Amino acid sequence: MITVYGIPNCDTVKKARAWLAEQGLEYRFHDFKKAGVPEAQLDDWLERFGWETAINRRGTSWRRLPAEDREAMDATRAREAALANPSLIKRPVAEHDGNTLIGFAADDWQEALA
């Protein structure tokens, strides 16, 4: 089963979910806002991809952080910030059979999930 993590009103999450529906792929959606961020998953994403990939540094949540927090960001601080504010996590994150994808690119998802 594919698990998609994100926030339902995120445009990129909407695109990814629409793509999954078009492909006829079943998935389980984990809403960060309602169900929280699974700490073990977050730890895995940070370890495998680095905080620079796992954290969305282009979004408004990032820009709202104080400059000193952004400048001092490291994996430990990124973990704490993401747990406190799940909107900081780059979305969507998809997991399936040991594959993890951060962000949505149809070609990458096709290769890994279909």
Residues designated catalytic: 10
**Residue bearing tokens 């927090």:** 69
Provide the 3-class DSSP secondary structure of residue 88.
helix
For residues 93 and 79, give the distance between their C-alpha atoms in angstroms, rounded to a whole number: 15
**Residue bearing tokens 């169900």:** 35
Query: 4 CB contacts (<8 Å, ≥6 apart)?
Result: 13, 16, 17, 20, 27, 28, 29, 30, 92, 93, 94
Q: Which two tokens stand for residue 13?
A: 């999450």
